[in-house]
Amino acid sequence: MEHPEPLLANSLDNPPAEHPVDSPEHWRRFAPDLDAEKVLFSELVPGGGHWSYRLPRGVTLRIAALDAGANLALVLYSAQEKLERYNQPDSLKAQHTAHYTRGHVLMSDMGRAMASITADSLGWHDPLGLLLDNRLMHEKYGDHAYQSFRNGMYRSGRDGLLIEIGKYGLAKRDLVAPVNFFSKVTVDTEGRFNFVANHAQAGDHVDLRLDMDVLVAFSAAPHPLDPNPTYAPGKIGLAAWRSGPAPADDYCRAFRPECARALHNTDMLYLE
């Protein structure tokens, strides 16, 4: 990671200051439209890198592809009760979809909205392709010892996410199917997955509003179906800002009745 932020593990009860000391403004490179007074932090994630945050409800993450062909595998867990986590089958079934874009909600296994996609320049993000694991990585790319290849980060998506969720006491049994932002996978008439190459271009972005207090972990390793024979994952830009919870006239609430119900279920957790 470039220039680690001092407040990545911020407390939900003690949000970061408006202007953290020594916090590089990476976001100005890929999200100059954001309100500087609301930005909490930003980060540049090298290809293959991974990280995690504990973030409160009402924060939005701008996720930007800084290179063409980038992929970001992301998982979510409730920060208040880690047994509640993002559920891929329920999210897709409830919203009658096989891909994500603006309006879609990432639902938990308790029927609550964990996060909502409030903006999307691309129109298709893959929820089905799972993760690059060590076996497939070695079959596709061979072995690259750090000392021999001087590689900054050569790691599978699965290992990256296991390292991150392990910081919060979670393990292999807790690793759920991720959302692969910036990747597109279609299904042919025979039921086979097809990876769409050159789907994302540098500058594409998606905004993910966090609808509850969450643990978010991610890996920028290649998509497991990416046919590129070289391990060359793209860089990702991240910026977090205070957007507030979903309002009554929220686009995602109106997108589908199932989204409205999931957001209502989450709102019930935060009644004052």
**Chain position carrying tokens 């595998």:** 73
Predicted local distance difference test score (pLDDT) of residue 190: 84
In a domain, 233, yes or no: yes
Number of structural domains (the chain) is 1
Given a contact cutoff of 8 angstroms between Cβ atoms, the answer to whether 176 and 87 are in contact is yes
Given a contact cutoff of 8 angstroms between Cβ atoms, the answer to whether 80 and 215 are in contact is no
In a domain, 140, yes or no: yes
User: Which of the residues in the chain have pLDDT under 50?
Assistant: 3-14, 16
Predicted local distance difference test score (pLDDT) of residue 18: 55
In a domain, 1, yes or no: no
Predicted local distance difference test score (pLDDT) of residue 68: 95
Residue 263 is which amino acid? Answer: L
In a domain, 253, yes or no: yes
Predicted local distance difference test score (pLDDT) of residue 4: 43
In DSSP terms, which residues pair with 205 in a beta bridge?
64
Range of the domain at 181: 35-270
> How does pLDDT run across 81-101, given as a tens digit for each residue?
999 999 999 999 999 999 999
pTM above 0.85, yes or no: yes
In a domain, 229, yes or no: yes
Indicate the DSSP class of residue 166: H
In a domain, 7, yes or no: no
Predicted local distance difference test score (pLDDT) of residue 21: 53
- Gap between the terminal Cα atoms of the chain: 38
In a domain, 251, yes or no: yes
In a domain, 29, yes or no: no
Predicted local distance difference test score (pLDDT) of residue 127: 96
Predicted local distance difference test score (pLDDT) of residue 22: 57
Predicted local distance difference test score (pLDDT) of residue 7: 38
